[in-house]
């Protein structure tokens, strides 16, 4: 019974603090914890980077140490999903970059046409 009473008293203290600050109504519930995710994102990218570097380094080592056609085919068969992931992750930024270059060229062409009247 003690934890329930403690939670109730904590809610009462939190409500008192909110009322003393002039905030009316219950505290909004967002369903998320109030945690800063900036450190977690950096750590996640570090883990992914280490995993990709290890996978790439080990694959290159195996291919250099044992250079043969069947070894290459075996590595491609074992790692095809990594190649697919790279294509999926790299293609959208490349498409965006290509479109950006085309739009900038078109903008420059239109500006030249507007200001260089013959």
- pLDDT digits over 39-86, tens only? 677 888 889 889 989 988 999 999 999 999 999 999 989 988 888 988
Q: Which three-class secondary structure state does DSSP give residue 26? A: coil
Give the CA dihedral 43, 45, 50, 53, nearest 10 degrees: -170
**Domain for residue 97, yes or no?**
yes
**Domain for residue 99, yes or no?**
yes
**Domain for residue 35, yes or no?**
no
Give me the number of domains the chain comprises.
1
Question: What stretches of 1-118 adopt beta strand conformation (E)?
Answer: none
Boundaries of domain holding 93: 69-118
- The percent of residues in the chain predicted with pLDDT above 70, rounded, is 66
Q: What global pTM score does this model have? A: 0.44
At residue 41, the pLDDT reads: 79
**Domain for residue 111, yes or no?**
yes
């Amino acid at each position: 019974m003690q934890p329930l009473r403690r939670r109730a008293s904590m809610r009462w203290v939190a409500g008192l603090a909110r009322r003393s600050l002039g905030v009316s109504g219950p505290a909004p519930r967002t369903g998320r914890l109030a945690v800063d995710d900036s450190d977690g994102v950096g750590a996640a990218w570090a883990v992914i980077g280490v995993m990709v570097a290890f996978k790439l380094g080990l694959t290159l080592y195996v291919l250099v140490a044992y250079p043969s056609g069947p070894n290459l085919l075996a590595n491609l068969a074992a790692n095809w999903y990594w190649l697919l992931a790279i294509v999926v992750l790299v293609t959208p930024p490349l498409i965006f970059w290509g479109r950006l270059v085309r739009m900038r060229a078109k903008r420059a062409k239109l500006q030249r046409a507007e200001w260089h009247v013959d």
